[in-house]
Structure 1
Amino acid sequence: MVGKRVLLRLLVAACLGVAGAAVAASPASAAGVPVCTDWKQSGAIKVPVSSSGDSYCWMQRGHRTRGVWMLQYSINMCYGAYLQSIHFPYTVSQDSDFGPITEAALREVQKLEDSRYPGVNVVADGIYGYVTAHVMFHSTGKDYNCYRL
């Protein structure tokens, strides 16, 4: 009898955990945040933006936009040496396609920035959103000069 109760509790907890994880992991699109479809110069740096020019936007695997191209450019220019130092096995192509390599590279960037800002709780989910945009370095487009938003 006790065994059945324990199993039932574990089953309920697992179901609630999966439901909670699904809610926690839902992308910014669920909140009506637009996709980063383009990029613009923002002060000294170039950042992905929505079609209305707002840097409050998001991107994930499957997106194919000019915003993705700028993210890939910033990853290469600002984090290329870091990715090599941790023996990241791929080169991020600047092809505007947010594929598995861009996602994996972004996860590494997120892990690095989370270690630099432990109180911010940067989630290494491979999704580019508000938190990632503000903790990562973005390229100026000149040499390897990179700054944060």
Structure 2
Amino acid sequence: MRAGTDSESSAAQWRVPRALPVLKLAGAAALVGLGLLFAEGDQIRLGLAGLAAAALVGSALRDLLAPVRLAVDAAGITVISGFAGRRRLDWDAVEAITVDRRPRLGLAAEVLEIDTGDSLHLFGRYDLDAPPGEVAEALRAARPERR
């Protein structure tokens, strides 16, 4: 599922599901609430709940500041880098686009891997709001023929 497509240049982008930051913020609020409810004067319990909530808020903030994790056009691929930065990968730099499938807890987990030789960029289902296999096919289709 492409989050956005420009038919003129065959550009596409994939983003975090829109509901995910909201769920993370709600989880952070629930952690703080549970920490206050069950701390019973224990500062360590309250501190741990606050720390976990802060981590969730940080993750939700990243999702809000940089929701688009991956974009492709005729010139190359743009991936998220760092907390909310972007890194442009020209097609010449991309060595391989693969999908790693592994069983985890009775379920198959898929991760899209974009290998440049110098770096490896990994994207899961919740980074792309689409199955990694479909995204890999779309990336391969967007890549110009090598000469």
Bigger strand fraction: 2
Bigger helix fraction: 1
TM-score by length of 2: 0.30
TM-score by length of 1: 0.30
